[in-house]
Amino acid sequence: MSRFETVSKISVGGIEVDNPFWIAPLAGITVPAVRRFFEKQGAGLTHTEMVSCSGVIHGNRKTLRMLRKGGQKSPAVLQFFTGNADSLVQCVDKGGDTWRKSFDAFSINMACPMPKVIKKGAGAALLKRKDSARRMVEELRKAGLPVWVKMRLVSAGDLSETLRFVETLIEAGADHVTLHGRTPAQRYEGSADMEAVCRVASAFCGMVSASGDVFSPQAAMTYLERGASAVFFARGILRDPFIVERTLDNWRKVPFSSRNNLSPAVKIKRLMDLGEDLYRDEGEKICLVLIKRFLSSIFKGLRGASRFRRDVADTHSWEETVHVLENWRELAERSDLNG
Ligand SMILES: Cc1cc2nc3c(=O)[nH]c(=O)nc-3n(C[C@H](O)[C@H](O)[C@H](O)COP(=O)(O)O)c2cc1C
C-alpha cells in the first residue's frame, strides 16, 4: 500500500476514490504524463484536458491523442466540450467500450469562457442554454458511465440562478457537479467566490465539488470543511507542483518527521523524471513547454532563483534542459539554497 492510500475509499459521483484532492481538467496541461505525476503524489482523481466532440467525430489526430488513459491506475474523468447533445452522442458512440473500460466518468464542460468555445454554444454558453444542458446530461447517461458536469457561477451576487441550474442538472441525472466560483464574464480575473461555492455545495450535500483559487493546502481544506465533496487543483499545480502531496500530508496529519523531504534537489529530480516521461509520450516541443511551466515555480524565494529561471528559459532542447537541471541539482545538493 502506498503512503497515500487509505483503507476506506470515498464514493463521490459514482466513483470510488482514495481522497477528495483532485486534478482539474487543464487544456494543454493534463496530458497522461502529467496525470501520472500527480497520481504518484497521491491525487484521488485526475481529469483529461477538455476534448472537442467535433474533433473526435472528424477524426482529428491531435484530438484523438487526448483520449488515452496512459497507464494510469487511479480514477480518471474524460471531459468533452460541444454545443449540442447530438454531437455528444455521436462522439461517445465512436469511443464505445474502449472509453468505458479506460475512464471512470464522462464530464461535460459548461465552464469554459473562451470565445472560440462560447461561439459554438459550448462551455459556459450552456449556462444560458438550460434545455440543451439538460438534454446533454440525459443523453450522456445512456453511455453507461457516471455523468459529471463542470460549470461556473451563472451570475454574480444572487445565487438563485446557479442553484436552479445545478438542480436541473441533477434532475436530468448528473452524478456530480463541480462549481468554479467565478462567472463566465470574470474569466480568470478577480477572485473566486468561495463562499458561494460552499453554499451551493451545502445545498446539494455530497453532489458538488469546488474549483477556484486553490493555491494552498489551507484553501483546499476550507472548501472541504465548508461542504464541498472534493477540491480541484488547477493553477495551483503550476504555482507549486508539489501542492497535492503537501495537502495530503496536512489532511492525514502526517508528522513532520515522516514527511518526504521536498528539498530543491528532490524537487528538481522529480521534475526531471516528469520531463523524461513527457519527452517519451509527447515529444520534445510539448515536453519543453510544460516542464518550463512547472519548473518556473520551484525556486521561488530561494537564493539564485532568477538565475535558475533564466538558465532554464534559455534552453532549446530537452538535452540542454537536463544539463542545466543536473548542474542545479548538484548545486542544490552541495549547498544551502534557502535564502
Ligand atoms: C490553462 C488552463 C486550462 C484549463 N482547461 C480547462 C479545461 O480543459 N476544462 C475545464 O473544465 N476547465 C479548464 N480550466 C479551468 C480550471 O479547471 C479551473 O476550474 C480554474 O482554473 C479555476 O481554478 P483555479 O483558480 O484554482 O485555477 C482551465 C484553466 C486553465 C488556467
Tell me if 16 is assigned to some domain.
yes
In which band, very low, low, confident or very high, does the pLDDT at 149 lie, cut at 50, 70 and 90? Answer: very high
Nearest CA to ligand 1 atom 15: 26
C-alpha cell at 85: 447533445
In which band, very low, low, confident or very high, does the pLDDT at 260 lie, cut at 50, 70 and 90? Answer: confident
- On the question of pLDDT at 168 being above 50, the answer is yes
Residue-level pLDDT at 7: 58
Per DSSP, the three-state class of 338 is: strand
CA 24–ligand 1 middle distance (angstroms): 7
The domain boundary, picked from 223, 256, 289, lies at 256
Distance CA 16, CA 74 (A): 10
Distance CA 277, CA 144 (A): 32
Q: Measured from the CA of 79, which atom of ligand 1 is nearest?
A: 9
Nearest CA to ligand 1 atom 27: 235
pLDDT top residue among 16 and 338 = 16
CA 208–ligand 1 middle distance (angstroms): 17
In this structure, what CATH number is given to the domain that contains residue 242?
3.20.20.70
Host domain of residue 279: 264-334
Contacts 24+ apart (CB under 8 A), 271-279: 271/241, 271/295, 271/298, 271/325, 272/322, 272/325, 272/329, 274/33, 274/34, 274/37, 274/241, 275/318, 275/321, 275/322, 275/325, 277/33, 277/36, 277/37, 278/31, 278/33, 278/34, 279/318
Tell me if 154 is assigned to some domain.
yes
Residue-level pLDDT at 299: 73
Orientation angle between helical segments 318-334 and 305-313, nearest 10 degrees: 160
The domain boundary, picked from 256, 277, 296, lies at 256
Read off the pLDDT of residues 285-337 as tens digits, 9 standing for 90 and up: 999 999 999 998 887 777 788 888 899 999 999 999 999 999 989 888 887 55
Which is nearest to 322 in space by CA: 29, 4, 337, 284? 284
Tell me if 5 is assigned to some domain.
no
Whether 141 and 25 share a structural domain:
yes
Tell me if 1 is assigned to some domain.
no
Read off the pLDDT of residues 224-258 as tens digits, 9 standing for 90 and up: 999 999 999 999 999 999 999 999 999 999 999 88
Whether 252 and 311 share a structural domain:
no
Residue-level pLDDT at 307: 87
The domain boundary, picked from 225, 256, 287, lies at 256
Nearest CA to ligand 1 atom 18: 234
**What percentage of residues in the chain have a pLDDT greater than 90?**
86
Residue-level pLDDT at 146: 98
Tell me if 38 is assigned to some domain.
yes
Tell me if 4 is assigned to some domain.
no
Nearest CA to ligand 1 atom 30: 26
Amino acid at site 301: G
Nearest CA to ligand 1 atom 29: 26
Whether 146 and 214 share a structural domain:
yes
CA 287–ligand 1 middle distance (angstroms): 20
Whether 57 and 179 share a structural domain:
yes
DSSP secondary structure code for residue 302 in this structure: B
Whether 86 and 225 share a structural domain:
yes
Task: Report, as an integer, the average pLDDT of 146-171.
Answer: 97
Q: Measured from the CA of 109, which atom of ligand 1 is nearest?
A: 11
Domain count, the chain: 2
Residue-level pLDDT at 296: 85
Are the CB atoms for 2 and 42 separated by under 8 Å? yes
Distance CA 295, CA 154 (A): 35
Amino acid at site 56: V
Whether 38 and 67 share a structural domain:
yes
Tell me if 98 is assigned to some domain.
yes
Ligand 1 test: best mutation among 78, 211, 214, 216, most atoms within 8 Å of CB? 211
Residue-level pLDDT at 336: 56
Task: Report, as an integer, the average pLDDT of 141-160.
Answer: 96
232-260 burial, b for 16+ CB within 10 Å, e for fewer?
A: bbbebbbebbbbbbbbbbebeeeeeeeee
Task: Report, as an integer, the average pLDDT of 36-65.
Answer: 97
In which band, very low, low, confident or very high, does the pLDDT at 5 lie, cut at 50, 70 and 90? Answer: low
Nearest CA to ligand 1 atom 22: 212
Which is nearest to 230 in space by CA: 1, 15, 29, 2? 15
Task: Report, as an integer, the average pLDDT of 190-197.
Answer: 98
Whether 150 and 96 share a structural domain:
yes
Tell me if 233 is assigned to some domain.
yes
Whether 125 and 274 share a structural domain:
no
| Phi and psi based region of residue 59 (left: phi greater than 0; alpha: psi -120 to 50; beta: remaining) | left
Residue-level pLDDT at 1: 43
Specify burial of residue 290 (Cβ count, 10 A radius: 0-12, 13-18, 19+): buried
Distance CA 47, CA 60 (A): 20
| Phi and psi based region of residue 151 (left: phi greater than 0; alpha: psi -120 to 50; beta: remaining) | beta
Nearest CA to ligand 1 atom 21: 234
Whether 139 and 282 share a structural domain:
no
Whether 183 and 274 share a structural domain:
no
Q: Sort strands 21-23 and 45-52 into parallel, antiparallel or unpaired.
A: parallel
Nearest CA to ligand 1 atom 5: 26
CA 235–ligand 1 middle distance (angstroms): 7
Arithmetic mean of pLDDT over the chain: 94
Task: Report, as an integer, the average pLDDT of 186-211.
Answer: 98
| Apex 9 CA angle, 5 and 12, nearest 5 | 125
Which is nearest to 193 in space by CA: 216, 162, 236? 162
Whether 272 and 230 share a structural domain:
no
Residues lining ligand 1, Cβ inside 6 A: 24-27, 29, 49-50, 79, 109, 111-112, 150, 180, 188, 192, 211-214, 232, 234-236
In this structure, what CATH number is given to the domain that contains residue 274?
1.10.1200
Residue 159, CA distances (Å) to 28, 137, 151, 199, 259 in order: 31, 22, 14, 9, 41
Q: Which residues contact 4 (CB under 8 A, 6 or more apart)?
A: 18, 19, 41, 42, 248, 252
Whether 83 and 224 share a structural domain:
yes
CA 339–ligand 1 middle distance (angstroms): 32
